[in-house]
Amino acid sequence: MKAKSLFLLFVSIPLFVPLCFAQDDISAKLTPSAINARIAKIRMGDLIVKTSPGAEVKVQQVRHEFLFGTAITNHLAEIDENAMSPEDRKMFLKILAENFNYAVHENALKWYDCEKQPNVVDYSVADRIWEICDSLHIPMRGHCIFWEKDKYIMPWLNQLNNDQLRAAVIRRAIDVTKHFKRRIEEFDLNNEMIHGDFFRRRLGYGIINEMAYAAKAGNPDITLYVNDYGILVERGYNASTYITQIENLLANGVPIGGIGCQGHFVSIDRANSSGRAATTPEHVQKTLDNLAKFNLPIKITECLFAADDEQGKAEALRMFFPICFAHPNVEAILMWGFWEVGHWVPETAMWKKDWTPTPPGVSLSRPCF
């Protein structure tokens, strides 16, 4: 019996110790000094100014290389049926230009929004939003070519037989990427594949390859992203599933070029009345590190902050943003809108209806890094 006890003790030690070191390593990465050191290393550079002795030199940063973005509502386009008033539009553009250098259409590029009837494709609202952002020197990403959830499938599309559906899928992928070629060079390929399977259920798993190569037929230079939720936030209940999904897509030859992690809803309050699980710094750091093994760019594509009070939302932002900003694989963070009017979740907006900034809005406009 003594020999057996010694053997069990010997086996348990190497299983336990690495886990402790792994957790210690994550904790060490999350100290303010460690985060600031990574930011200094990957986000800052030296500036050399040559001038005559005694000259007064003033240097002011006017634009950030890192991409801080927002979703743009259809209402910004003057041609939209629910367009903003001229006064609101002016304020919207002012805040957009002052606080963001990257953008995405909230709905105007989704298939259900630009082809409400079969073969009647209308990109006019999406085009106008792109034109506005371009005038402000704000690049855009594409969201999304397809969306797997049944509830977002147009009735006319659902009624097609499988051969007709496949033809419609190929046409859509080629058309949207070709239309925005040299304007939008990055798209979410098939949104939220963990949570929906409409196209795969109807057409088989190979349809993802067909979608991707049709998109590249429209624009060979397009970068295709996966995009899903429950990865970094709410304790990452989908994190391991997402990693496995990306592994399988790449193994099956799907040309995935980037990873999108949604940020609905970041919360640090375990008792908040929404009932959502808190987002822990440890999980965010660990999951970003795990995703980094693919050596692909990571973008935080849809960020919202949840709490029972505005200060709690600001604290969540100040916890979440620096960890993402300090990670070498993260190339962008996008809010899912910023103005209360027309916002998907109005209580999470950073600017109120009267354009008063909330504490998260103040934190955003006063860099927290």
Known catalytic residues are: 192, 302
Compute how many other C-beta atoms are within 10 angstroms of the C-beta atom of residue 202: 16
Is-contact 57 49, C-beta < 8 A?
A: yes
State the helix-helix crossing angle for 2-29 and 32-43, rounded to 10 degrees: 60
Determine the Cα–Cα distance for residues 106 and 321; give it in Å rounded to an integer: 21
Q: Which helix (H) or strand (E) holds 163?
A: helix 162-179
Contacts of residue 127, Cβ cutoff 8 Å, sequence gap at least 6:
none
Assess contact for 227 and 192: CB atoms under 8 A. yes
Q: Is 276 within 8 Å of 267 (Cβ atoms)?
A: yes
Q: Which residues, at least 6 apart from 80, have a Cβ–Cβ distance to it below 8 Å? A: 74, 125
Which of helix, strand or coil describes residue 330? strand
